[in-house]
Chain A
Amino acid sequence: MTGQNASPLVDIRHLKEYFPINVGAFRTKPLKAVDDVSFTIMKGETLGLVGESGCGKTTVGRTVLQLYKPTAGEIWYDGKQIKTKKDLKEFRTKATMVFQDPYSSLNPRMTVMDIIAEPLDVHDLSKSKEQRRERVLELMDYVGLNSEHASRYAHEFSGGQRQRIGIARSLAVNPEFIVCDEPVSALDVSIQAQVINMFDELQDRLGLTYLFIAHDLLVVRHISDRIAVMYLGKMVELADADEIYDRPLHPYSKSLISAVPVPDPQIARANKRIVLTGDIPSPLNAPSGCPFRTRCPYATEECAESMPEFTEVSKGHFVACHRTADIN
């Protein structure tokens, strides 16, 4: 799907997001939730973003959509930097978001009709009530909901159905780009498959581009064209989905991939699981140099001194590790 010469739809350059945390009465310390992350997404592509809890995946997603004001860095969309309020207003009709928790992301006092139509109302996109209604029913049809559900409240639905409502809402403004923030992690496995396949179908039908955030590696592999791995606010590896599964270069990616369950006991037994010791350090006191060095089996002095560059080692395969050449 990746066009070779096409310019990227989304281009994130050196994105930083620091949250001030109160330490003591008057002093604050920056929590580096996202620290210097750059990536691009081509039109029609799905970029998977994986990493363990608290590594800043969700913050990346939200900062890309400028729900949080980035501390530093540039966000380019379709060849234009999103800078002014006017840019942002227009950007909001092109980039939307699907949220993780289908229970708290729908207002319990609104009917499904009003929830899905909210983006239309905010941007004044429907000319008449009739048109608004038609559009909502069309969206509900896209995501496989019955039209008689329109007048109901969100709490009357199951998790999977609620997530469909959330997806319909994100499609309302006819977006080109959707940030999916762990959209299936709150669902049952059987429902996960349905929803994932729906994302796939919608992408084919509407030509959507996804930034797909997840911690389930199998899910990510299924839907993504490329996958980025994050650790402690930094991007450590970025490559094509199959490449990263077959040939992970960063020690952290290696251990992540080795943890993916394989549904064949013979292969599973043959695979060696790389178990990391220790916990993920607090982003408030991130280690010097490479953030992963405290848990990395290959760490050297150099790793403590400087942060490795995010370099392209083979075509389209980026990794941030001093010892890439030695350990592979």
Chain B
Amino acid sequence: MKDNKTRLTPFSMHVNVEDFIPATAEEKEYMVSMRPSSTFFRDGVKRLVKNKVALISFIVIVVITLSAIIIPFFWPYRYEQMLGVTPGKPADASYNNLKPFEYGKTEQARIEAGESVFPHVFGTDSGGRDYFIRVVYGTRISLAVGFFASLIVLIIGITVGSVAGYIGGRVDLIIMRIVDIIYSLPDMLMVILLAAVLRQTIGNSLEGTILEKIGSNIISLFIVFGILYWVSMARLIRGQILSLREQEYVLAAKATGAKAGWIIRKHLIPNCISVVIISTALQIPNAIFTESFLSFLGLGVNAPMPSLGSLASDALNGVTSYPYRLIIPAVVISLIVLSLNLFGDGLRDAFDPKLNS
């Protein structure tokens, strides 16, 4: 050893072997660190939160939805309540067409007597109904219609699309020709025709059932959506399934003896679910818009139930004197549709990065 040391010069490449000790088990353990497992979903959420526009849109949607659900529970007025009408007394016309924060005659009297009266934030409509609660209730209806219509579209689209894509061959051919036919129909015309026909035919058969409460018009709206709007969803899912079913993991599942239902549920749907969620999110504003537009034409919800479209339609009569009655529901529709669209775009960017590049 000593001999070795004497020979060492500052420029020598010799290395003292004693400096190198094998690591102990604990030291080795210390060096091994595992990256925390990250799922596809968590990665997507991370990307989504980074996207400010999508995040703000999401907050707007949540705020609007929550207020549409909660506010009617504690608001002192009801959406169908005509404030000027008290049973046994002549109607008090002073409640009709109040401007925001104005009060009817009896309310005025109560305020002068020192009582506090809940204000009419947006005034009242021509029937003396509190306009604010009508807007809130209309938002609730519009959101519900949008949500459930998209759900119907999703269920039909996913079933038909995955069957067509997975089975293929003649089944696929027939289903896709039906899709093509529905696609080629002018959809707005079909929507109007169907809504007009269905509300007549369904109206009678609904009497006495739970569905009567919802109203024949909304039911016919759902049917219209169910009949017409599943096609694009079915096409989308079929395309996804067509490419996914050629993947080797599907073959591997077949080799283990898995049946078609298992393969669709466990392998195909989970792998196209992000695309499905995104297009559903984009379908909701579409449905809301269609509902508003049908209500505007008088084919929407049954009176006195309000929806944003029917509110806007009613407001047209007095648009010169009370423009805010048109503007308020219009703004709410725009806000909902815009934020849902932006949120849907954000979802797509976050969960389907392939589409971007």
Contacts and interface: CB of A to CB of B under 8 A. Distances in A.
Contacts of A65: 255
B37 A104 contact: no
A109 B40 contact: yes
Interface in A55-90: 62, 65, 67, 88-89
A119 B37 CA distance: 24
29 contacts: A62-B251, A65-B255, A67-B254, A67-B255, A89-B257, A92-B255, A92-B256, A92-B257, A97-B252, A99-B251, A99-B252, A104-B247, A104-B249, A105-B248, A105-B251, A105-B252, A106-B249, A107-B267, A107-B271, A108-B40, A108-B271, A110-B266, A118-B258, A118-B266, A119-B256, A119-B257, A148-B34, A151-B37, A152-B37
A122 interface: yes
B85 interface: no
Interface residues on A, range: 20 to 34
Interface string A259-297: 000000000000000000000000000000000000000
Contact of A99 (B248, B262, B270): B248
Interface in A136-165: 148, 151-153, 156
Contacts of A107: 249, 266-267, 270-271
A65 B35 CA distance: 39
Contacts of B254: 67
B227 interface: no
A36 B272 CA distance: 40
B42 to A, nearest CB: 11
Contact of B40 (A89, A152, A153): A153
Contacts of B253: 118, 122
B251 A123 contact: no
A107 B270 CA distance: 10
Contacts of B321: none
A96 B315 CA distance: 70
A118 B37 contact: no
A101 B34 CA distance: 26
Closest 6 CB pairs of A and B: A92-B257, A105-B248, A119-B256, A109-B270, A104-B248, A107-B249
A122 B258 contact: yes
A93 B257 contact: yes
A67 B258 contact: no
Contacts of A92: 255-257
A43 interface: no
Interface residues of B, number: 21
Nearest to B36: A152
B94 to A, nearest CB: 64
Contacts of A15: none
B39 interface: yes
B268 to A, nearest CB: 10
A250 interface: no
Contacts of B267: 107
Contacts of A67: 251, 254-255
Contacts of B266: 107, 110, 118
A122 B251 CA distance: 14
Given A104-B249, A118-B266, A122-B253, 8 more contacts: A92-B256, A96-B255, A104-B248, A107-B270, A108-B40, A110-B266, A156-B35, A156-B37
Contact of A122 (B247, B249, B257): B257
Contacts of A106: 249, 252
Contacts of A119: 256-257
Nearest to A89: B257
Interface string B311-324: 00000000000000
A105 B252 CA distance: 7
A105 B249 CA distance: 4
A104 B252 CA distance: 10
A166 B252 CA distance: 9
Interface in B13-37: 34-35, 37
A109 B258 contact: no
A290 B302 CA distance: 79
Nearest to A92: B257
A173 interface: yes
B256 A96 contact: yes
A234 interface: no
A101 B255 contact: no
A147 to B, nearest CB: 12
A169 interface: yes
Nearest to A119: B256
